[in-house]
Amino acid sequence: METLYTILPLLLIVAVFYLLLFRPMQKRNREYAATQAALGPGVRVMMGGGLYATITEIDDQDVTVEAAPGVRLRYSRQGVVKVLDAPLDGPERLT
């Protein structure tokens, strides 16, 4: 019984670490993988600096986006923060 009392605090610490650190990290990794899998030509994205653009070309490491008609920028794939589901309305909409 004394062994249980000495092991129980250690088990509680491990459980707290799992719930507070590892689960949120796994969730972020899944979201990142889903974002990277959704990338492709013609997809609207938001880049890390808040730039809204459309992907024109993509390869293993880089993505080329069109921010405005005729303005193409090359970014690292990791620079894509969010894939946009709906077309943008308002001032950030590309024509």
Residue pLDDT, tens place only, 8-26: 999 999 999 888 988 999 9
Can you name the residues that pair with 92 across neighbouring β-strands? none
Cβ atoms 59, 76 nearer than 8 A: no
Residues above pLDDT 70, as percent of the chain: 89
**For residue 85, what pLDDT is reported?**
78
* 34: phi then psi, degrees, rounded to nearest 5: -65, -40
Q: Residue 73: name the closest of 49, 90, 56 by CA.
A: 56
Distance, CA of 66 to CA of 53 (rounded, Å): 5
* 65: phi then psi, degrees, rounded to nearest 5: -120, 155
